[in-house]
Chains A and B, each alone.
Chain A
Amino acid sequence: MSEPDLPDPATEPNASTDVESVELDVFLEAIQRVYGYDFRNYARASLRRRLWRRVHGEGRHSLTGLLEAVLHDPQAMERLRVDLSVTVTSMFRDPQFFRALRELVVPHLATYPFVRIWVAGCASGEEVYSLAILLREEGLADRVRIYATDVSEQVLEQAREGRMPLDKMKAYSSNYLEGGGREGLSRYYTVDGRWARMDPTLRDGVMFARHNLATDGTFNEFHLVLCRNVMIYFDRTLQHRVHELFDVSLVDLGILALGARESLVGSPLESHFDVIDAESRLYRKVAG
């Protein structure tokens, strides 16, 4: 997919940039006040990319043009909101993480009579199904409840459906095996045209629900929280808020899993966690 060039008639290198940065501030402030959607603490560079995609998608030429569209047309706002909330993931992304989950985390979880897991920012469910498969193979599925949340109702609907593009299953299969899979991934889905339909019994212990990491509070106590490659779209301030949310949502010795290039370094909550495995970004909440 090629990105259209950003129109920029200004010859003075910084002039247009400054105007645009004001437009961006105004834009974010306005949709927060009118619609209550708060993207002000999203990481600017990727936010800007997505906004410009909507500028072109709505046939506009500037952020101010897009703002006019979304303020007067709730449908345009909805298209923008969906575009801003969607995260992209894959099944068994980072196989070594899933191997570490099997080897380092499962034995700990197995000591609890009942286990609650929160997949925060589950998107279209790839990680939820990966986790459900892993827990079944490790004999834990019967006493685990997975709470899978996302800010977007649309992607939750996709996640509940459990439908993956068939052409991706080959890559997912090799991830699965590399991550310590004990069977073959094909055991867990049926082919339906161009789609792979995940075994519906994988959803038995899973609850999908809407939750906004930027504004909502905690809703249970968890033994494991997975939030991988979700906070990369947030700035430091919002990241720290979410770290606090996870801290209060975890039981003592509860485990937090972050994405392969995320960490708690520099977070005010850093001292609340021990590193279990630096490579796979697994943290344990310190007791007390």
Chain B
Amino acid sequence: MSVVTRLVALGGSWGGITAMQTILRDLDLPDDAALVAVLHRQPIRSALADVLVRGSAYPVEEAEDKAPLRPGTVYIAPPDYHLLVEPAWLSLSTEEPVKYSRPSIDVMLESAAEAFAHRLVAVIVTGASDDGTAGARAVHRRGGTVIVQDPKSAEQAVMPRSVVEAGVADRIAPLHELAATIGLAVRSRPGPGHE
């Protein structure tokens, strides 16, 4: 299996690293799925991929421009670049920050919604801004599934609450149940060979 037909796109900011670690520890993806993520952080060289890969069942890579999407791989946006999703690869951009953020969760989700439509599962976890809400709307419009961390269980509730209030959340789950919820949602999307 070399083609990614179903995608998980995750966004978070404040507390997002811990949340994503928790998810990666328990996540079980089908063979044709990959995960892309934008976590806001200071634009410095960091070893975020090294931190996230601990306890993760999947390899974690900082995205390279035009990197082919490979199943069973987790890609995170590099600092100071927007991460855009194409049907078969990832693209980077240094365009202006959106809502003061680069990488921007909205930019990632809008491009992923375009590329994967109903084969996309978007996940919004803890965060202190409303970045991700416009992106979640785009995912919703394109027929993808939007999963939101229960604001009550989030370190910072602003980001998940904003998506819930926009009325585009398909599932709301506490942190410790997110991995299972994501796994089920991805499997409910049409896999390879299905239209």
Contacts and interface: CB of A to CB of B under 8 A. Distances in A.
Contacts of A231: 65
Contacts of B137: 5
B118 A14 contact: yes
A197 interface: no
Interface of A: 1-3, 5-6, 8, 13-14, 17, 43-46, 48-50, 87-89, 93, 96, 229, 231-233, 235-236, 239, 259-263, 265-266
A88 B102 CA distance: 12
Given A2-B98, A43-B84, A261 B64 contact: yes
A45 B118 contact: no
Contacts of B107: 49
Given A1-B98, A14-B118, A232 B134 contact: no
Interface string B129-154: 00000100110011100000000000
A158 to B, nearest CB: 15
Nearest to A88: B94
Interface of B: 45, 62-66, 78, 80-82, 84-86, 91-99, 106-107, 110-111, 114-115, 117-118, 134, 137-138, 141-143
25 contacts: A1-B97, A6-B138, A13-B143, A14-B117, A17-B142, A43-B91, A45-B91, A45-B111, A46-B95, A48-B111, A49-B84, A49-B95, A50-B95, A88-B96, A93-B80, A229-B94, A232-B65, A232-B92, A232-B93, A233-B93, A235-B66, A236-B66, A261-B92, A263-B64, A265-B64
Contacts of B110: 3, 6, 49
Contacts of A5: 134, 137-138
Contacts of A239: 66
A186 B80 CA distance: 24
Nearest to B118: A13
B27 to A, nearest CB: 25
Contacts of A45: 84-86, 91, 111, 114-115
A49 B111 contact: yes
Contacts of B98: 1-3
A229 B82 CA distance: 12
Contact of B91 (A6, A8, A232): A232
Contacts of A46: 82, 84, 91, 93, 95, 111
A89 B94 contact: yes
A239 B137 CA distance: 33
A262 B63 CA distance: 10
Contacts of B114: 17, 45, 48
Most A CB within 10 A of own CB, among B45, B82, B93:
B93
Contacts of A48: 111, 114
A239 B89 CA distance: 14
Contacts of B91: 43, 45-46, 232
A1 B105 CA distance: 13
Shortest Cβ-Cβ A-B pairs, 6 listed: A13-B143, A45-B84, A45-B111, A43-B91, A232-B65, A13-B118
Contact of A260 (B78, B84, B85, B99): B78
A99 B63 CA distance: 23
A17 B134 contact: no
Contacts of A235: 66
B63 A261 contact: yes
B21 to A, nearest CB: 23
Most A CB within 10 A of own CB, among B64, B94, B138:
B94
A233 B45 CA distance: 22
A44 B118 contact: no
A45 B36 CA distance: 15
A46 B111 CA distance: 8
Most A CB within 10 A of own CB, among B81, B86, B91, B106:
B91
A178 B62 CA distance: 22
Contacts of A49: 84, 95, 107, 110-111
A8 B95 CA distance: 25
A179 to B, nearest CB: 12
